[in-house]
Amino acid sequence: MCVPSRGSLETMRTTEKAHECVREIVRPGDHVIDATAGNGHDTLFLARLVGPAGRVTAFDVQEDAISATRAHLLGNGITDDRVVLVHGSHSTLRQHVDCPVSVVMFNLGYLPGSDHGCTTTCGETLIALAEGWEILKESGVLSVVCYRGHPGGMEEAAGVVEFAEGLQDQGASVVISGQEDTEAGPFLVIMRKE
């Protein structure tokens, strides 16, 4: 189970911590999900990890995000068909993926440089987390970067923590990193299926 060392907790950005944890889990050829494609940074990261034999299914509700992700992949040499981009909500996850996956990544909130009013929401995020957990392989990981500084962010982050604690009660391994560091800053939730 990924537990970033204390030093790295203090110096690494939350998204980098998420990458560190996910990197440990994903193997070439895996099927994984990026639940919030945004500008495509996480999608590219996952595409490189799974390699040409793998599959990344990436969701975003904004057409601009899908276009930005497509351009980011092409600009970085990912020209094969390992990434499937879904212009739609991650709450429809099971309609698009029904095979076992090793990782589902969420980077919540809004698309930087875009409409800050278009954010992930607690209700849809919880549906997607539950659906992602259903198809997660043994030893697979749900990784969630939570933000609390925008309207609805605090409630959504609390919902994610409650979801994780529920899984922990059922035997899952859960690490919550950075929640206490600031009142409203980002933090990371990692949930691993045992």
Ligand X SMILES: C[S@@+](CC[C@H](N)C(=O)[O-])C[C@H]1O[C@@H](n2cnc3c(N)ncnc32)[C@H](O)[C@@H]1O
Which spans of this chain sit near ligand X (rule: CB under 6 A)?
Answer: 36-42, 59-62, 65, 89-91, 107, 109-111, 118-120, 124
| CB of 146 or CB of 176, closer to ligand X | 146
Q: In this chain, which residue has its C-beta nearest to ligand X? A: 38
Sign of CA dihedral 123, 127, 129, 130: positive
| CB of 119 or CB of 177, closer to ligand X | 119
Give Cα 123 to chain centroid, integer Å.
Answer: 16
Sign of CA dihedral 8, 143, 52, 70: negative
The minimum distance between CB 169 and ligand X, in angstroms, equals 26
The minimum distance between CB 65 and ligand X, in angstroms, equals 4
- Within the chain, residue ranges assigned H as helices are 6-11, 14-25, 41-50, 63-75, 93-96, 122-135, 153-169
The minimum distance between CB 88 and ligand X, in angstroms, equals 7
| CB of 9 or CB of 118, closer to ligand X | 118
187's tokens: 């933090």
